[in-house]
């Protein structure tokens, strides 16, 4: 028998030479990654252009963009609470994940048909409801499929494939904007295709593992007794994640920052291409590393990268420096997002994973709403520099809090 640390202070046991120790990341995780990739290609083809479309074509303000983005993401986060809890109650994850992807796909044609900001807000809202329905059950499904010793690698593999879609989407948007002479609606229509391919893939190729017979059945996942079962360590992780989310805001502001420096309209999506490329290339290696070292140390390094991104973007004087700041932003995402998901999966009972991911996304979604609205207000009042300097200040506060939380988690592990 060999004991291996999971990076959180918790010790897991793996039988050396067992099939679980030899096998790589399961096929189901790969398929879920490709489903995420296709949906992200579709979404990012639209979202890479949407902030500029709203500001330049429909005449909305940066504050309005921040409010819309914040409300959209908060809607997704609130929905995840209920879909995650429902997946625990049903003991089924795939059904809800497929429903969420289907709803998102059905909303994609609204974007090219929309003639006013109200229609775009409606489409964005419904799209995020679909994201909310699928998010927590899908993450819980990854945790159910992945063996414990490959959980970090599995979460970051799915995230890495998801993020490949996040840079392929804007890249396609750039090419299509050039081919169509900046015809937004044509790009939005083409974005419909990969969304429906994603739905077909999850319906056909993902097989959900059977629920273990010995696993406790959850009757009321959101009851206070069940929430108490999640444990203090879980709630500490959620607290860190919520404060961390206050330190960052919607990537729409990266696009607006590049435009403020003078990036041509047709090339605006390259911002998300650069960010997502840095994100996708770093996420999987960091996930593998997180199965071997302390995850909170890697999380702190990710916050350091966010601080570097904020300061670079605040004082950028040309597009080269904006590009460097965007790379730092993407790297910080690669260092943090999969790690947070892995920490959630490792600190809760298996039968409550859906609820755990739902509550986690609720807290971080509310924080993202606040962060995006504040960022938009600061942009209108103090310009880009004020927005990114405020992000840097929140990042420093989060780093200080990380040391406190790390000590508390270490005390619990030693107890």
Which pLDDT tens digit goes with each residue over 28-75? Answer: 889 998 999 999 899 888 877 777 777 776 767 767 776 776 677 667
Q: Mean pLDDT of all residues in the chain?
A: 79
Between residues 238 and 1, which one has the greater pLDDT?
A: 238
pLDDT band at 14 (very low <50, low <70, confident <90, very high): very low
pLDDT band at 412 (very low <50, low <70, confident <90, very high): low
Q: Is the pLDDT of residue 260 over 80?
A: yes
pLDDT band at 411 (very low <50, low <70, confident <90, very high): low
pLDDT band at 209 (very low <50, low <70, confident <90, very high): confident
**For the chain, percent of residues with pLDDT exceeding 90:** 13
pTM beyond 0.85: the answer is no
The predicted structure's pLDDT at residue 197: 94
Between residues 293 and 97, which one has the greater pLDDT?
A: 97
Which of 219-228, 322-331, 392-401 has the weakest average pLDDT?
A: 219-228
Q: Is the pLDDT of residue 12 over 60?
A: no
pLDDT band at 16 (very low <50, low <70, confident <90, very high): very low
- Superfamily of 27-210+230-414 according to CATH: MFS general substrate transporter like domains (1.20.1250.20)
CA 9 to chain centre: 25
- Dihedral sign from CA coordinates of 366, 398, 309, 42: negative
Between residues 76 and 390, which one has the greater pLDDT?
A: 390
CA 34 to chain centre: 15
The predicted structure's pLDDT at residue 362: 81
| 258/261 Cα distance (integer angstroms) | 5
Q: Is the pLDDT of residue 104 over 70?
A: yes
The predicted structure's pLDDT at residue 25: 79
- Dihedral sign from CA coordinates of 75, 77, 81, 84: positive
Between residues 325 and 123, which one has the greater pLDDT?
A: 325
């Amino acid at each position: 028998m060999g004991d291996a640390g999971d990076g959180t202070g918790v010790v897991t046991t793996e039988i050396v030479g067992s099939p679980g120790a030899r096998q790589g990341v399961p096929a189901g995780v790969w398929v879920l990654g490709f489903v995420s990739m296709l949906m992200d290609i579709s979404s990012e083809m639209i979202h890479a252009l949407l902030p500029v479309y709203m500001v330049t074509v429909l005449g909305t303000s940066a504050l309005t963009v921040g409010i819309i983005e914040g409300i959209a993401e908060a809607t997704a986060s609130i929905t995840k609470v209920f879909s995650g809890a429902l997946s625990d109650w049903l003991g089924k994850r795939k059904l809800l994940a497929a429903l969420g992807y289907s709803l998102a796909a059905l909303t994609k044609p609204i974007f090219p048909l929309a003639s006013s900001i109200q229609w775009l807000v409606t489409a964005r809202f419904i799209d995020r409801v679909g994201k909310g329905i699928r998010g927590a059950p899908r993450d819980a499904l990854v945790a159910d499929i992945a063996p414990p010793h490959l959980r970090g690698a599995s979460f970051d593999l799915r995230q890495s494939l998801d993020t490949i879609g996040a840079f392929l989407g804007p890249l396609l948007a750039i090419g299509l904007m050039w081919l169509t002479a900046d015809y937004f609606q044509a790009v939005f229509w083409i974005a419909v295709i990969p969304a429906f391919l994603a739905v077909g893939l999850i319906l056909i190729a993902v097989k959900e593992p059977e629920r273990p017979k010995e696993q406790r059945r959850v009757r009321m996942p959101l009851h206070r007794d069940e929430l108490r079962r999640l444990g203090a360590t879980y709630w500490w992780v959620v607290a860190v994640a919520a404060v961390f989310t206050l330190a960052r805001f919607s990537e729409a502001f990266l696009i607006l920052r590049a435009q403020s420096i003078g990036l041509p309209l047709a090339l605006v999506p390259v911002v998300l291409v650069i960010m997502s490329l840095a994100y996708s290339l770093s996420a999987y290696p960091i996930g593998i590393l997180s199965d071997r070292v302390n995850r909170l140390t890697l999380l702190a390094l990710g916050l350091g990268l966010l601080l570097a991104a904020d300061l670079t973007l605040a004082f950028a004087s040309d597009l080269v420096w904006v590009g460097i700041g965007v790379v730092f932003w993407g790297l910080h995402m690669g260092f943090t997002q999969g790690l947070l998901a892995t920490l959630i999966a490792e600190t809760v009972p298996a039968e409550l994973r859906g609820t755990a991911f739902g509550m986690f996304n609720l807290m971080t979604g509310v924080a993202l709403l606040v962060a995006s609205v504040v960022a938009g207000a600061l942009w209108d009042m103090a310009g880009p520099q004020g927005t990114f300097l405020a992000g840097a200040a929140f990042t420093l506060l989060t780093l200080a809090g990380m040391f406190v939380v790390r000590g508390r988690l270490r005390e619990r592990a030693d107890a």
